[in-house]
Structure 1
Amino acid sequence: MNYQTFQPCPDLKSLVKCYWTLEVSADSDAEKQRIVPDGCIEMAFILGDDIKRFTSGDNFILQPRAMVLGQTTEPFYIQPTGYVNTFAVRFYPYGFANFVSTPLKNLANKETPIEDLFGEAHSKELAQKIIPARHAQQRIEIIEEFLLSKLNEKATLDNIVKTTVETLLSTNGSSSISAILKEDLSKRRQLERKFLKQIGISPKQLGKVIRLQAALKMLLSQQTETLTSIAYESEYYDQAHFIKDFKEFTGTNPRDFLEDRQLLLSALFYSEG
């Protein structure tokens, strides 16, 4: 399994967290992988064999080969059908809204083909450049040219949304929305509405995902020995609260997470950023 990340150009670094590539050789016994929420939206290009995404039980769809993965609030399962070769853009929570006019709540918890967002002609042209490119750096140059051409100067993010996201990120999701709004609860409904449009999920949901991400990184680095310590450092009320949120977003408890082969990919994404 070869997973690599790459940094964006200066003009996109405030919106794009990174580009990443994943390459895995074909394996007839490829296991399902459980993907957990990370607070980011991703644009992904499947360059290898098809990838299944399970909708329930043994039912699945084949993921679009050029797609946007919206915000997720629950884990989901994928499974490769052969050789894995994926190139993707990982946007900051407020990043993707600057490139599309579609309310991002419409993209949550699902894959959307890029032609539904950027039109068939532009999307086909982009895919025809990305697919035959010889290496990651060439694909990055292609996608950056595309993103810069789509950057909507008029789609400026509402300041209250950007400030809230930045506060949640800087405090690892531990700040309450009431504290961020300085107890001005009249702004809460307005913030919720803007979040659904520009982020895709509510401020509270994003805060919970960011806090989980911080706790997961702590768990994966094994710098903190006990779950109680992780709960305390991540500012959960107590260990029970930490375990409840952990199960909600990963589908398992913290003690089993490190041993679960179905979470290898999520563990890789979290530990590598």
Structure 2
Amino acid sequence: MNYKTYKPHPNLDALVKCHWILEVPHNTEATKQRIVPDGCIEMCFILGDDVKRYTSETEYIIQPRSMVFGQITKPYYIQPTGYVNTFAVRFYPYGFANFISRPISELADKETPLISLFNESSAIELERAIIEAASTQSRIEIIENFLLSKFTDPSVIDNIVQSTIKTLNSTKGNSPINSILKHDLSKRRSLERKFSKQVGISPKQLGKIIRLQAALKSILNNTEEKLTQVAYENKYYDQAHFIKDFKEFTGTNPKEYLNDEQMILSSLIYSKD
């Protein structure tokens, strides 16, 4: 399994967290993989064989070859049908909203084909160019030129949204929103509206996801650490609260997480992110 990330162009680094690739050799017995929320939005291009996303225990759809997956608020399951080869762009929580006019909240918990978000002919041409590109670097240049052509005004990044997310990230999701806004209720309502427009989920929900990601990294990087210590370090009220949030976003409990074959892909990504 080969997973690598690449830094974006300086003109995009306020919006794009990274570009990434994932390659996995064909495995006829590939298990379903559980993908859990990370607070980011992904633009993905499937270059290998088809990938299934399960909509129920037994039913699935085939993911589009080029798509945007919006904010994830619950775990979902994918399963490759053969060779995995994916190229993608990971946007900061507020990043992708600056490239489309459609409400970002409409993209949550599902994949949206690029032809539904951009001019159909340009989306088709972009997909063709990415698929036919000879290298990852070429794909990065192609997608960055496309994004730069769609983004013309850096001032549209709302400062209060950006600063709130920066604070949440720096405190690993542990700053109460009212504290960030100095208990100004009028600012809270305004922030909620702006988050809905630019991020697609509420600031409180994003804070919960960021805190969960910090806990996941603690578990992955120190497998001997006790769960009570992980809960304490990440400012959960108690272990029961930690387990409740963990199951909400991952669908499993912390003890089972490390030995769950369905978490292999997520564990690889989150341990290196």
Alignment check: 8 A CA contact 1:224 1:230 kept: no
Offset of residue 46 of structure 1: 0.3
Offset of residue 155 of structure 1: 6.7
Q: Does 1:59 align with 2:59?
A: yes
Deviations 1:104-157 (A, max 9, x none): 100001100011111211101111110011111110011111111111417702
1:80 aligned residue? 80
Structure 1 counterpart of 2:34, which letter? R
Partner Cα separation in structure 2 for residue 155 and residue 201 of structure 1:
22
1:21 aligned residue? 21
2:253 aligned residue? 253
Partner Cα separation in structure 2 for residue 218 and residue 249 of structure 1:
16
Partner Cα separation in structure 2 for residue 252 and residue 64 of structure 1:
28
User: What's the % identity of the aligned pairs?
Assistant: 65
Residues 1:223 and 1:28: Cα distance change in structure 2 (over 3 Å) = closer
Partner Cα separation in structure 1 for residue 232 and residue 10 of structure 2:
36
User: What are structure 1's unaligned runs of at least 5 residues?
Assistant: none
Structure 1 counterpart of 2:100, which letter? V
Partner Cα separation in structure 1 for residue 159 and residue 24 of structure 2:
41
Partner Cα separation in structure 2 for residue 53 and residue 207 of structure 1:
26
Offset of residue 201 of structure 1: 0.5
Matched residue SS, 1:82: coil
Matched residue SS, 1:131: helix
2:131 aligned residue? 131
Q: Does 1:90 align with 2:90?
A: yes
Structure 2 counterpart of 1:52, which letter? K
Matched residue SS, 1:56: coil
Over 4 Å off, 4+ runs: none
User: What are structure 2's unaligned runs of at least 5 residues?
Assistant: none
After superposition, the CA RMSD in angstroms is: 1.2
Please report the TM-score for the alignment, with normalisation by the length of structure 1. Answer: 0.97
Structure 2 counterpart of 1:188, which letter? R
Structure 2 counterpart of 1:25, which letter? P
Deviations 1:148-204 (A, max 9, x none): 111141770222211111111111100011101100012222211111110010111
